[in-house]
Every structure is written in structure tokens, then in C-alpha cells.
Structure 1
Amino acid sequence: MLQLVHDYNTRFICSLEEDIKSETRSGLETALLALLRGPLGHDAHTLDKALNRMGTDEDALMDVLLCRSNADIRAIAAEYKRVTRRDLVVDIKDDVDDALFRLCSMILAATRAEGAAPVLAHEVDAKVTELQRATEGMIGTNAVSVAQIFTSSNAAQIAAMAEAYQRKYHRSLQEVIEKEFRGDMEDALLRMLTAAQNRAAWDAFRLREGLTKRKDKLLINRVVSLYWDQPRLQAAKEAYKKFHVTLAKEVKDLFKGDLEDVILALIREK
């Protein structure tokens, strides 16, 4: 893509990005500019737009930061600083409530267990006990403790904790989170939990949310992120069938024109 941009700009003595902005609109513009920026550049741009506006776009913020590897987080924070000349953690602190900021600051510390880290029964049991103490086992909720456990664990470890919590306390961890938390913190924890238990189903749900609620920019960002990860895209398309319709059919039913065409192209159905 960098070579394409360079060749276009050199040959026509103009900016491909500026030409896209002047010649396209809405969803098509969003999709083309996302592809032009590439995965890392688009993550940084999405964060800048989510934070640099009247009211924070928490959905976009969490789409970029949650369930990412430590390497991804470090690269995103560095690219954000390079592009904006601002510190991401400072911008987040200025824009979100204290609970969500603490969660984001833990994520940006990039201390999550790596994907290959094993699931150890004694560690899972200890974390499950701590989760119960920090939620149902006390008056009030120790949100910091819960956030620390979630942000320091990889997907397999979180999934194991959910299973162990159900066995030990005869309640689902999802029910506990829904009971003990509200707002952005509840949403973030549920996102991490659900993605850990079944990433493909979670991706399918996120796509359908953008489609049926007509959150076009959010949908395009989510589609583009999957376009860059073809195995995840194919898994999400397969999981989407649980809604008794294919992703391509849903797109064709809900969109027309350029937006339909670009989404179908991104999901490899055109």
C-alpha cells in the first residue's frame, strides 16, 4: 500500500489521501482511507478521532484497545504519539471516567499474559477466588482488582476463569459482571469475557451490531480490522450464520450503492 501511495503521488503530483477525501463521501471514504493508512495507522487515527471530539467514542476506543497483544498495544501507543505528538494515556485520562481510565492504563502498560502462556489450575483458582471477593464477596465492588485480573490474563486464561467460576460458585461470571458493574466498565469487561470464550461469535456479534443499528463508521472499522486478519474474518462469517442469515446477505439487505459494494469487497463476497 505504501508503494501504491508513493507511485500515485509521484505520477500525478498530488495526494491520494486528499483525492479520496475530495472525491468520495461517508462510508466509502472511511473504508478507503482506512485501507490507505494500514492497520497500525488506522488504529492510531481511530483513537485520535475517538478522543479528539465532543464526547468520547468509547465503542471505537475499546474496539482498538481491548483483546490486543502486548506488541500491538506498544506499537499503537507509539504510533499515536508519532502522529499526534501526544501521549495516549494522557488523552484517555482527560476524556473518560476514572474506572475506564484505570482499565485503559492497565492495558497500555502491556503486561498481559502472552497468548502462548499456559493455563495453570492453581493460578486460575486463585484468580477466581479474588474475583468473587472483589465482587459478590464484599459490600461494593473492587473494580481495580477485577480490571487487574482481566487485563493481565490472556484469552485462554479468562475462559478458564469463567468455567471455574461457574463450577465453584454456581453462577456465571457474565451474570456477576452484569450485576456488579454499570456503564463503560461493564461493557469493557463483558467484551473481554465474551471474546475470550468465543472470539468468532464475538466478532460476528460486533458486525451485526454495526449492521442492524446502522452505525456505519463503527461497522466499517470492524470490517476493515477483520479484512486485515483473514482467518478471523472467515471464522466470523461462519459464526454469523447463527443469526440464520449470511453476512453477505445481511449486507445486501441493509445497504445499497457504494457502501454495499465496499463492504462486500472487504468481506471477500464481491
Structure 2
Amino acid sequence: MSVANGPERRPLADEILRQLPLADKTSVWGTLGTLRPHLSFNVEHDVQALLESVSGEAVDYRTIIDLLTNRSNEQRQQVSEAFLAFTKQDLMKTLQAAVSGHLEGIIVGLLRPAAQYDAHVIKTALKGLETNTLIEILSTRTKQQLREILDFYERDFKLDLEEDIVSATSGLFTDLLVALIKGNREKHTRVIDYVLIKQDTKALVDASNDGEAGQPNGSEWIRVLTQRSPEHLNRVFSWYHKTTGFPIEEAVEKYFQGDMQEAGLTLVALLRNAPLYFAARLYQALKGPEVNPGALARILISRCETDLLSIRAEFKKHYGISLYSLISAETKGNYQAALLGLCRAEDM
């Protein structure tokens, strides 16, 4: 993935994030989300408002969108439970019957618990073999979040995720995905281990020429990339560049092919700068040959309570236009209103 180089000076929030492990940034990212718990939250009021929004002659889309994009996921779960208790109807099914198109996808995503939403996205991504989507979810969730995803996957589909991965993929790509769902990435200790940096760099260099017929030892690459902290790996990447004369991205392109190459490049991009990666994905979704509504909804829903402010900052810095403005220009209608509700505000 190609993105322009930004200025060397970084905002304080970005510097703090760079000191934290990729999958453990959630607690800090929570302060960088665009969507936070509604301070005047009243579950009974919300249930009544949603019931009225679908009970009149016309669906009140504005109320549905405003309410769901102004509540945290935890609050939305409380509303769903109260709606069921009061009406004996499932809120998600009720709203699905009232809306359609791309807006329906956003409503469903907002009403599912985060881990359940991830499980369903993963299931779809495995069917279509969406490499980037699989890597971005599995590499940016904590060990606990991954456990919850596995539980929802088994509950909703009556299938084991690891078995599904093995049946839907092949080769090193399978090994990489299986390693990621284990959630064994080390936490950043704030101690720079120069000996280990050189050992891991040497392991990658040796693994590049270790296999038969010039094929790399992919297992060693997977071990290093899925077990070390992002902070440590970024130093390994720098040392690898100094040692070999070319960036780690070029090594991935040189030594791997197909799904494993695409997955490796995605993982490296996320390890280097996750908010920038997501900014680039959003830009592609908006400015590609055609708008990609699934990618837009998925990223905004999954990042709105964690690091969407950082993503917005990277977006504006690298593309010269705010995410809010580009969504306004490239989408329309109630779908646009929902996306803007999650994006929240313009970046000047």
C-alpha cells in the first residue's frame, strides 16, 4: 500500500500510540474515538424513540441514525435488550425490516456486539478470501477480543474458526492466520532489546534464503511477525533495511507470492502505523473505481470507539482533504448520514 510520507513531527497522541503494542492500544485509543458513551443515556427513552421511528406512516430514518450513532456499543446492547423485553421483538430484525440497502449493513453492524460483528465480517471475508480484511481484524484485536470472536463464530455458525481458516485458505497464508488468532503477540516492555533486535533481523535474513530452490522459510517469518511487539518489529524493520539494503516491504514482495505476499504487506503496514493504514483503506474505498460501502461501514464501525480521531488526522495529512468532506462528496442519502454520524466532525 502506497501512501505519501508525512512530516517528521508527530502529534503527541500519535507518539503515545507508537509506544504501545498494536493489539493493546484499545485502552488508549478509547480516548481517540469519535463515538463515546452518551452522557444523558436513558434506555427507556431510546426504546420508545426507536419504536415510534418505525411505527408511523413513514420510517423516521433521522431518529434511527442519530440515536444509534450517538450511543456506545455497550449502550446499544442495553437498548436492544430493553427493546426485546418491552416489545417481544428483536430490535435488529425490526430495523432491518424498516431500512434497506447500505444503511441496513450499518444498522446491523452497530447493533451487534463488537466481537460478534468481527466474527460475521471474518466469515464473509473467508468466503470471498478478502486478505486485507482478515489480516486487519486478526492483527488489531487483543487476546481477549480474539477469544470473544472465536466464541461468537462457533455460536453463530456452529463452526470452529481455525478449522474454517484451514479449509478456506492454503499454504503460508493459512499458517499466518492461524498464528494470529492465537493472540500470542508480546506486549511492549518499553525496554529496547538490541540483542533480540539483531537476532530477529538475522532470523529473517537467514530465513529468506533457507528453503529449497531459493524458497524462504515462511514459518520463521510468521513466528517473528506474529509474536513480537510492533515497537520491537519496527526496530527490526529498520535494522533489516540497514543490513540488506532494502525495506522489509520489498523483502515481502521478493520472497512471497499470492495471498501470503498481500497478507504480509498488510501486516507490515499495520505494524508500522495502524491509523495511517486505515486512512489509506478509507481513501481507497471512497476514491477507487467505485465506492466500497462495505469497507467504509466496517472500518468506521470498528474504529469509531477506538482510534478514528487518529485515522482522521492521518487522512487529512496525507490526502489534503478531511474524511468528513470526502464522505460528503462521494456518498449520499441516509447511508451518508450514518457514515457522517460515525465520522462525527470536519477536520479543518
TM-score (norm 2): 0.72
Contact 2:136 2:267 in 1 (8 A): no
Structure 1 residue runs without a partner (length 5+): none
Report 1:1-270 matches (<5 A). 1-51=76-126, 53=127, 55-116=128-189, 118-135=191-208, 139-213=214-288, 214-229=291-306, 232-241=307-316, 242-269=318-345
Q: Indicate how the Cα distance of structure 1 residues 170 and 59 shifts in structure 2: closer, same or farther if over 3 A, else same.
A: closer
Shift of 1:116: 4.1
Shift of 1:226: 0.9
Q: Indicate how the Cα distance of structure 1 residues 169 and 59 shifts in structure 2: closer, same or farther if over 3 A, else same.
A: closer
The 2-side partners of 1:187 and 1:67 are apart by 17
Shift of 1:162: 0.8
Q: What is the one-letter code of the residue matched to 2:329?
A: D
Q: Indicate how the Cα distance of structure 1 residues 115 and 259 shifts in structure 2: closer, same or farther if over 3 A, else same.
A: farther
User: Which deviates the most, 11-20 or 256-265?
Assistant: 11-20
SS in 1 for 2:112: helix
Structure 2 residue runs without a partner (length 5+): 1-75
Shift of 1:154: 1.5
Query: For residues 30-76 of structure 1, what are the alpha-carbon distances to aligned partners after superposition, in whole Å with 9 as ceiling and x for unaligned?
Result: 1111110021111112122333x4x4333332232123322222222
SS in 1 for 2:110: helix
Alignment root-mean-square deviation, CA: 1.8
The 1-side partners of 2:338 and 2:148 are apart by 28
Higher Rg of the two aligned structures: 2
Contact 1:223 1:263 in 2 (8 A): yes
Q: What is the one-letter code of the residue matched to 1:39?
A: A
Contact 2:252 2:265 in 1 (8 A): yes
Shift of 1:118: 4.0
Q: Indicate how the Cα distance of structure 1 residues 152 and 75 shifts in structure 2: closer, same or farther if over 3 A, else same.
A: same
Query: For residues 192-220 of structure 1, what are the alpha-carbon distances to aligned partners after superposition, in whole Å with 9 as ceiling and x for unaligned?
Result: 21222222211211211222232211221
The 2-side partners of 1:137 and 1:169 are apart by 16
Contact 2:136 2:270 in 1 (8 A): no
Shift of 1:137: 6.6
**Matched residues, number:** 266
Query: For residues 57-106 of structure 1, what are the alpha-carbon distances to aligned partners after superposition, in whole Å with 9 as ceiling and x for unaligned?
Result: 33332232123322222222222223322110001111112221111111
Q: Which structure has more RCO (C-alpha within 8 Å, separation ≥ 6)?
A: 2
User: Which deviates the most, 245-254 or 5-14?
Assistant: 5-14
% identical aligned pairs: 21
More helix per residue = 1
Shift of 1:252: 1.0
